[in-house]
Amino acid sequence: MKLSLVQVTLAGLLTSTFALPNPLPKPEVSTQAEIDANEIIPSFFNATEHNLSPRSAPGLRCYQFEPRYTWAVDGLHPLRELGKDYDLGGNIYDVAKKYCRESHGQIFINDYNWIGKVYFFKNVLKTFPLPFVPVRVGIANDGNTGVINSNVCADRMVKLISGCIAQGGSKLNNFRGGEFVDANGFAYVIFCDAKGCYK
């Protein structure tokens, strides 16, 4: 299976720059290439593909029931935040709450807008091409205006994670992602942000 340029770059970032637990196989990346920690890596997120639109119905949607999603992470082992050089620690709940704290006060405008961050988690599916998975945690405003409140965000993220685990198919050490759309039309989402995550 061929890796995309972004996947190879991400693999090089994690395996050569950061000391991850257990040595990971290094992809063939030039050793002369320098990594800019502030470089913006384009997202593979597609709002239409995830059915996030102003008409999204409020409620929980868990990706473990959709065969086109071909990824799962160990939510007990977050590795790094994209562009950071320290271990995250904690678990997927802690990472989601960290995102909410750091995003507090950010403003959504009328147009469709997305505010999120990428975190790397240990991969648990043999079919996924890398030993880690880039997971985007974020909020889509679905065309509504508003300001991110860290407490509301954390509450919605806990509902998303706990709700998908409660439905079966996802576990804390085998999490498949999902979204929680609240009554105000804001979508709280945790998903894999790489082309290899979807059929």
Higher pLDDT, 57 or 109: 109
Residue 13 lies in a domain: no
The widest CA-to-CA distance across the chain, in whole angstroms, is 50
Residue 156 half-sphere exposure, CB side, CA atoms within 13 Å? 29
The answer to whether the beta carbons of residues 128 and 74 sit under 8 Å apart is no
For the stretch 23-47, pLDDT in tens is 333 333 333 333 233 333 334 444 4
For the stretch 42-93, pLDDT in tens is 344 444 444 444 445 789 999 888 888 889 999 998 988 988 877 778 899 9
Lookup result for tokens 């991969």: 123
Mean per-residue pLDDT for 132-151? 90
List, in sequence order, the alpha helices (H) in 73-149. 92-103
Count of domains for the chain: 1
Residue 143 half-sphere exposure, CB side, CA atoms within 13 Å? 6
Question: pTM value?
Answer: 0.71
Q: Is the pLDDT of residue 117 over 50?
A: yes
Per the structure, the complete domain to which residue 190 belongs is given by: 48-197
Residue 29 lies in a domain: no
